[in-house]
Chain A
Amino acid sequence: MSSAPPDTAAPAAETVPIERTWWDRRGGTVTVALTRLALVAVLLSVWEWSAERWFDITFTSRPSAIWARLLEWHRDGVLWANTWVTLEEIVLGFVLGSAAGALAGFLLASAPRVYRVLDPFIMALYSIPKVALAPLFIVWFGIGTNMKVLLAAATVFFLVFLNTAAGVREVDRGLIDAVRLMGGTKRDIAMKVILPSSMTGMLTGLKVAVPYALIGAVIGELVASNRGLGYLINDAAANFDTAGVFATLVVLSVIAALLNLVVGLFDRWVGRWKPLEART
């Protein structure tokens, strides 16, 4: 339309070099990390110092005693043998439950009519406290590892299932139409639109489910077992060994932190297209 051909190239983003010191770039993160360390140090010192002065050491133990117990268990192998058992249950339960939950959520939410029929039943099953299933699972699967894995998986399943299904149902109609316009089949729509866009929901489910995998495994062990961290807690508590109980809790929180880290990294990788402020 205009006589001169329009300048069609989009202008490249203009950048100016900014001089930032190491502190400008990393200062915030470092401050937060240092404050955290300081907070932990203060809490531990207060605990250590106040034990015996204010509290009965039989009930609250003290950090040095807990540390000594961890070292002792490390030396005689109790720590690793039991941690390994529980870790295996947690990871297996988490993987099994989330794989089944994601698959079921994806498939069921893609069939809205079926989902509508099943919805109240699913919610009813979801609402059952999974702890209440432990005795039944013992009857079905015995008191071995299977029972704990499945208890963890049952809890994880529903959380991942519900979040994935919600993700599938919230898919933007416009994106589906876009694929239809390209001549895409139902399969293309499922694989290229619904699957990637339900990832956000699925990841929310995974993040929420991490602590529940721990709950499932440990509850299973508390109810019936002769090894694992849940057993260790039971055993220590029965002997009034609070240091042993706290030592086990420390190990459990380390496992939880590691699992959260793995899920967080996966989330970052899958959600790399998202704006930074939407990332958690």
Chain B
Amino acid sequence: MSAILRLESLSKQFVKDDVGIVALRDLTLGIEEAGFVTVLGRSGCGKSTMLNLLAGLIPPSSGTVTYRGEPILRPRPEIGYLTQSDTLMPWRDVRRNIEMPMEIKGVPAPRRRERAAELVERVGLQGFERHYPRELSGGMRRRVSLARMLVGDPETLLLDEPFGALDAQLRTDLQAELLRLWEGSGQTVVFVTHDIEEALLLGDRVVVLGRLGRVVLDRKTDIPRPRAADEMRVDPGFVALHKEMTAALAEGARS
């Protein structure tokens, strides 16, 4: 197993007045290439901090994060990060938002336009190219964010509760879309969620984090793909896994 992302006794604390608030303590984890790992944990267990560190947005207090053996010191274009909240530029329409990463890379305009059109189609937003983010529904904004992340062809995707704020039906749709976009792409995915079902439905491997990012459980799920949510819910194997995860989450909260 070759780990593409490696977290080595990673700690992070934030300074507030005269105290350091510990968000993550001594987390060690390896993430293998082309896998779909879901990280499950309650709110405040350091999941988002972990992703911010993996993305290179913030420096660790101690420990290291390496990507293909190189330490991550700043954001890298090979790693795409979809944050919990929308960070679309409100003054750019859909097409120009999707073009933005290419603009920064210096891709010439005709090529940008072409690529953006491709991505718009892939996330199913044809006809909305000239709309501004505020004119779109929450689900559509997520699709735009997803398209913007994918336009840079990242090898690794970090997703932070990307569908948390959406209604159940829309979440199911977008989960399916994400799997469809990922399958066969060879991309590595780290998907953070607090929803057990989502974690099991999407991931090949589930890592349960307890307080301060302590790894409570780390296992492969071996649920065959393609997975159908309705059938999976009644599958005895799934029910057993669900129970195991619930217990792990409870244990993580205790200590």
User: Chain A residues in contact with chain B, CB under 8 A?
Assistant: 1-3, 5-6, 8-10, 12, 172, 174-175, 177-184, 188, 192-193, 196-197, 199, 273-275
Given contacts A1-B201, A6-B173, A9-B126, contact A183 B179 (CB under 8 A): no
> What are 27 A-B contacts with C-beta separation under 8 Å?
A1-B201, A3-B226, A6-B173, A6-B176, A8-B123, A8-B180, A9-B124, A10-B125, A10-B128, A172-B87, A175-B87, A175-B89, A177-B83, A178-B87, A178-B89, A181-B55, A182-B77, A182-B104, A182-B152, A183-B75, A183-B77, A183-B101, A183-B105, A188-B104, A192-B104, A274-B134, A275-B134
Beyond contacts A6-B176, A182-B100: 17 other A-B pairs, Cβ-Cβ < 8 A, are A1-B201, A1-B225, A1-B226, A2-B229, A9-B124, A10-B124, A10-B139, A177-B57, A180-B57, A180-B75, A182-B75, A182-B152, A183-B101, A183-B104, A184-B104, A192-B104, A273-B132
> Which B residues are in CB contact (< 8 Å) with A9?
124, 126
What is the distance, in angstroms, from A24's C-beta to the closest C-beta of chain B?
A: 24
B81 within 8 A of A: yes
CB < 8 Å neighbour of A10 from B83, B140, B225:
B140
Q: Say whether B127 contacts A1, CB under 8 Å.
A: no
Is B177 interfacial (CB-CB < 8 Å)? yes
Closest 9 pairs (CB-CB, A-B):
A8-B124, A178-B87, A182-B101, A183-B77, A174-B87, A273-B91, A9-B124, A273-B132, A1-B227
B47-65 near A? 1/0 per residue, CB < 8 Å: 0000000010100000000
On chain A, the residues within 8 Å of B55 by CB distance are 181
- A10–B143 touching, CB < 8 Å: yes
B126 CB, min distance to chain A CBs, angstroms: 7
Alpha-carbon gap, A177 to B55, bound state (A): 10
| Residues in B171-205 with C-beta less than 8 Å from chain A | 173, 175-177, 179-180, 201
Establish whether residues A1 and B85, one from each chain, have CB atoms under 8 Å apart when the complex forms. Answer: no
Point out the residue from B74, B81, B176 that lies within 8 Å of A1, measured CB to CB. B176
| B176 CB contacts on chain A under 8 angstroms | 1-2, 6
Interface of B with A (CB < 8 Å)? 55, 57, 74-77, 80-81, 83, 85, 87, 89-93, 100-101, 103-105, 123-128, 132, 134, 139-140, 143, 152, 173, 175-177, 179-180, 201, 225-229
For residue B202, give the distance in angstroms from its CB to the closest CB of chain A: 9
The distance in angstroms between the C-alpha atoms of A182 and B76, with both chains bound, is 8
Known: A1-B176, A9-B126, A175-B89. A192 touches B100 (CB 8 A): yes
Q: Are B228 and A193 in contact (CB under 8 A)?
A: no
> How many angstroms between the C-alpha atoms of A9 and B55 in the bound complex?
30
Chain B residue at smallest Cβ distance from A188: B104
Roughly how many angstroms separate A214 CA and B92 CA in the complex, as a whole number?
A: 35
- Whole-angstrom distance between the alpha carbons of A268 and B127 in the complex? 25
- B89, B105, B125, B225: the one contacting A196 at CB < 8 Å is B89
B57 touching A2, Cβ below 8 Å: no
**Chain B residue contacts of A199, Cβ below 8 A:** 91
Output the least CB separation between B39 and chain A (Å).
Answer: 19
A141 → chain B, closest Cβ, in Å?
Answer: 40
With the chains together, A2 CA to B174 CA distance in Å?
A: 12
Whether the Cβ atoms of B87 and A1 lie closer than 8 Å is no
Write out the residue numbers on chain B whose beta carbons fall within 8 Å of the beta carbon of A177. 57, 83, 87
Chain B residues with CB under 8 A of A193:
89
Whether B134 pairs with A179 at a CB distance below 8 angstroms is no
A39 to B80, CA, bound (A): 61
| A31–B101 alpha-carbon span in the complex (Å) | 48
Q: How far is the CA of A196 from the CA of B85 in the complex (A)?
A: 20
Q: Which residues of B contact A184 (CB under 8 A)?
A: 104
Does the CB pair A12–B127 fall under 8 Å? yes
| Chain B residues in 8 Å Cβ range of A181 | 55, 57, 75, 80-81
- Is A5 a contact of B180 with CB atoms below 8 Å? yes
Closest Cβ of chain A: how far from B91's Cβ, in Å? Answer: 4
Q: Which residue of A3, A8, A174 contacts B85 across the interface (Cβ within 8 Å)? A: A174
Residue of A nearest to B126 (CB): A9
A184 to B75, CA, bound (A): 9
B173 nearest CB neighbor, chain A only:
A6
Determine the residue in chain A with the shortest Cβ distance to B181.
Answer: A8
In the complex, the chain A residue whose C-beta lies closest to that of B81 is: A181
Q: Which residues of B contact A2 (CB under 8 A)?
A: 176, 226, 228-229
* Complex: chain A residue closest to B134, CB-CB: A275
The answer on a CB contact under 8 Å between A3 and B57 is no
Q: For residue A220, give the distance in angstroms from its CB to the closest CB of chain B.
A: 38
Q: Write the nearest CB–CB distance from B36 to chain A, whole angstroms.
A: 12
> Looking at A9, A174, A175, A178, which has the most chain B CB atoms within 10 Å of its CB?
A178
In the docked arrangement, what's the CA distance between A199 and B90, Å? 12
**Nearest-neighbor residue (CB-CB) of A177 within chain B:** B57
B118: min CB distance to chain A, Å:
14
B227 to chain A: which residues have CB within 8 Å?
A: 1
Q: Which residues of B contact A5 (CB under 8 A)?
A: 180
